[in-house]
Amino acid sequence: MEKTLEYLQETLGIQTLAKPLAKSYLDKLPLYIHEMYKLYQTDLFNTEFILAELKCDDEMSIQQIGKQSQQIKTLLHQNVVVVLNTIQAYSRKRLIEKGISFIVPGRQMYMPDLLMDLRESFIHPKTKHTSETLLPSAQFLLIYHIIHRNENHKLEDRSFKDIAQKLGYTPMAISNAIDNLKHHALVEVQGQKEKYIQFRYPRSELWNITHQQNMLTNPVIKTVFVDEIPKKLSLLQSNASALPAYTDMNPSRQPYFAIEKAAFYNLQKHNALLNLNDYEGNFALEVWKYNPLNLVGDLQNEVKVVDPISLYLSVMNNRDERIQLAADQIIKKYGSMPLIVGY
């Protein structure tokens, strides 16, 4: 597994970790899966998946690998990447034809679930492959730092583990997020055994740099509609429903709320959303890449709304003239961050 992680770092330019699959997950799998694979959980580009390392490559057919990787995926509800020490050209071709994610350390990785097909023949081992935009988790950290100035919310001088616990991320995801911020020269990592971060610019400059260089992206994955909001579900107003809190725009007729993707997919899985569809409903739910609740934390506002920076990023390309005017007002108010002190 060490070679696999080194290969990921060399080809993608990010450092990630892998830990043995927890017993609670292993107990859900047939015994023969344990005998044929070493199973690990890892995180890449803020997406968790399972690395299934074959103990003996020669004993498995491509059909068996495909069937068993799908079985692991179905039982554990996570994407699976098979790790092989060696592979013949015709076998590699069949894996790709069947859409089976795999890694051969030092030679090739193919992960259609993560939209990757990286081959040694096209990639120099030391080439850094990092998106020009920030990872969602890195964007979360940046915005959190910009809008929070209270000492209780400080991210600098905190260990990676403390940041993860505070913000609801795994330590692995925080490590990847900080590595992404470091790649974009937005933070410096200090310390030896216990590492911590220091942002390289004042808050207003961080906003201007990342915004002008198009590092920040729309946090909304998609918008869906429902007829009821499940009871006891805590949500923040977003889109046109949140704009009146920061601008002089009038409230919209359609109520909009932001929901973190994991929470949404869990509700969808348990059929807890009444008349879920892509077209119309009493409520519009924006599925977000990161948790809007954790981003605002315990901040006090007259109404429960998403933060102004994420709100701007979510509507900046909206063609509605009223929303464009409101977005411009947000930038004028918060572009240099003079009023964020209320957060």
Q: Say if residues 278 and 225 touch (Cβ distance below 8 Å).
A: yes
Return the number of other C-beta atoms located less than 10 Å from residue 56's C-beta. 9
Please say if the pLDDT value at position 343 is more than 50.
no
Q: Which domains does the chain have, with CATH numbers?
A: 2-119 (3.40.1350), 136-212 (1.10.10.10), 220-342 (no CATH)
Please say if the pLDDT value at position 137 is more than 50.
yes
Tokens 């506002």 -> residue: 301
Q: What is the pLDDT of residues 182-209, one digit of tens each?
A: 999 999 998 878 889 999 988 888 888 8
The sign one gets for the Cα dihedral 104, 105, 110, 114 is positive
pTM exceeding 0.85: no
Q: How many angstroms separate the CA atoms of 51 and 56, rounded?
A: 15
Confidence of residue 17 (pLDDT cuts 50, 70, 90): confident
Q: What is the pLDDT of residues 243-300, one digit of tens each?
A: 999 999 998 899 999 999 989 999 998 899 999 999 999 999 999 999 999 998 755 5
Q: Say if residues 15 and 179 touch (Cβ distance below 8 Å).
A: yes
Please say if the pLDDT value at position 339 is more than 80.
no
**What is the pLDDT, as a whole number, of residue 118?**
46
